[in-house]
Structure 1
Amino acid sequence: MKVTILGSGTAFPDLTRNSAGVLLEHEGRRYLIDCGYGTVHQLLRLNITYHDIDGIFFTHHHPDHMCDLIYFLFGSQYPGDPRTNDLPIVAAPGFRAYFDTLMAAFNHWLVPKTYQVNILEQDEETRDHHGLQVTTARVQHIEMSRGYRFEDARGNSVAISGDTDYHPNMAALGRDADLMVLECATPDAMKVAKHSTPAICGRMAREAGCKTLCLTHFYPPCDDAVLLEECRREFDGNIVLAEDLTAFNF
């Protein structure tokens, strides 16, 4: 299993940090978890195109987590090289209605002609996705927000939060995981409601007992803060501060 942070930033424009997006590669298949601004170009830097993505999982539908879906769908219709493989999209209940509204807003220019988008609404449950056991659970951000755990047949696992404040469900999703990827929007002293800080991420990682904690989704104040020091007050394991294209193999 390989996990690459495509975007370690937020909605704030930044030349070094794209918006939220994670690439998960497993046994020849590639999945996106979120698809924020810059995701498609980051994939191209890895020599991956819209043909090569086997599915998209959304933690929620805020623009900095999904706006490149518009670009992805529109680009996939390029007449000279259209996508032909169906595209599964997994998200919480309510996403199908949102997706239909999005298609209508663009006068159906995004509706595929050479493949199908298959929306799967997955609530708090575990389902098999081509050999990956994918578990979803509510987290503390908006009604549609879900955290994910991906686990393969060998027991390799990664938990990904999307945006969230502290929530025991996220610690449960990360139980003994090889990697937890947690949103860390601001330093502790600048805490924003329904978002996490280094100490909150450290607490969830400690409760989970994960092997490696990756902090991501940084607003600009994080670049000047002592994030590691704040996080290590709660978690004494391996901590990585994400940059765009930071990768993990396990």
Structure 2
Amino acid sequence: MKVTILGSGTAVPDLKRNSAGVLLENDGKRYLVDCGYGTVHQLLRLGITYHDIDGIFFTHHHPDHMCDLVYLLFGSQYPGDPRTKDLPIVAAPGFRAYFDNLMSAFNNWLVPKTYQVNILEQDEETRVYDGLRVTTARVQHIEMSRGYRFENTEGKNVAISGDTEYHPNLAVLGKDADLMIIECSTPDEMKVEKHSTPSICGRMAREARCRTLCLTHFYPPCDDATVLGQCRKEFDGEIVLARDLTAFNL
């Protein structure tokens, strides 16, 4: 299993950090977890096109986590090289209605003609996709927010929080995980409601007893703060401060 941070930033435009997106590669398949601004171009930098994505998992539907879905779907209709492989999209209950409204808002220009988009609503449960065991649980951000745990047949696993305040479900999703990727929007002293800080991330990683913690989703103040030091007070394992295209081979 290989995990690549496609976007380590937020909604704030930043030449160094694209918005939220993670690429998960396993057993010849490629999946996106979120698809924020810049995701499609980041994939191209890795030699990956709209043909190569086997599924998308959304933590929630805020713009900085899903707006490149519009770009990906529209590009996939290029008459000279249209996508033909069906595209599963997994998200929390309510996403199907949101997706239908999105298609309508674009006057159905995004509706594929050469393949199918299959919306799969997954609540707090475990399902298997192409041999990849995927568990979802509620986190504390918006009603549709879900964290994920991905585990392959070799027992390698990664937990991804999406945006969240502290929530005990993250300790469950990240239990003994090889990698936890947790949103870390601001330094401790600039805490924002329903978002995490370095100390909160460290606490969740400590409770989960994960092997490696990756902090991501940085607003600009994090670049000038002692994020690592604040997190280290709560978690003494390996900590990685994400940059765009940071990669982990599990």
State the TM-score bracket (shorter-chain normalisation).
Answer: over 0.9
Corresponding position of 1:25:
25
- Mapped to 2, the partners of 1:157 and 1:170 lie a distance apart of 14
SS at match of 2:82: coil
- Mapped to 2, the partners of 1:124 and 1:215 lie a distance apart of 24
Offset at residue 72 of structure 1 (A): 0.3
Corresponding position of 1:187:
187
Residue 82 of structure 2 corresponds to residue 82 of structure 1: yes
Residue 43 of structure 2 corresponds to residue 58 of structure 1: no
SS at match of 1:128: strand
Letter in 1 for 2:171: A
- Mapped to 2, the partners of 1:126 and 1:34 lie a distance apart of 19
Corresponding position of 1:224:
224
C-alpha offsets along residues 9-35 of structure 1, whole Å, 9 cap, x if unaligned? 000000000000000000100000000
Counterparts in 2 of 1:1-250, with a 5 A limit? 1-250=1-250
Gaps in structure 2 of 5+ consecutive residues: none
C-alpha offsets along residues 57-84 of structure 1, whole Å, 9 cap, x if unaligned? 0000000000000000000000000000
- Mapped to 2, the partners of 1:154 and 1:79 lie a distance apart of 40
SS at match of 1:137: strand
- Mapped to 1, the partners of 2:28 and 2:16 lie a distance apart of 29
RMSD over aligned CA atoms reads 0.3
Offset at residue 211 of structure 1 (A): 0.2
Identity over aligned residues, as a percent? 83
Offset at residue 154 of structure 1 (A): 1.3
C-alpha offsets along residues 231-250 of structure 1, whole Å, 9 cap, x if unaligned? 01000000000000000001
Give me the TM-score of the superposition, normalised by structure 2: 1.00
Letter in 2 for 1:40: V
Letter in 2 for 1:108: N
- Mapped to 1, the partners of 2:16 and 2:33 lie a distance apart of 20
Give me the TM-score of the superposition, normalised by structure 1: 1.00
C-alpha offsets along residues 137-168 of structure 1, whole Å, 9 cap, x if unaligned? 00000000000000011110000001000000
- Mapped to 2, the partners of 1:42 and 1:75 lie a distance apart of 15
- Mapped to 2, the partners of 1:228 and 1:7 lie a distance apart of 19
Gaps in structure 1 of 5+ consecutive residues: none
- Mapped to 2, the partners of 1:8 and 1:228 lie a distance apart of 15
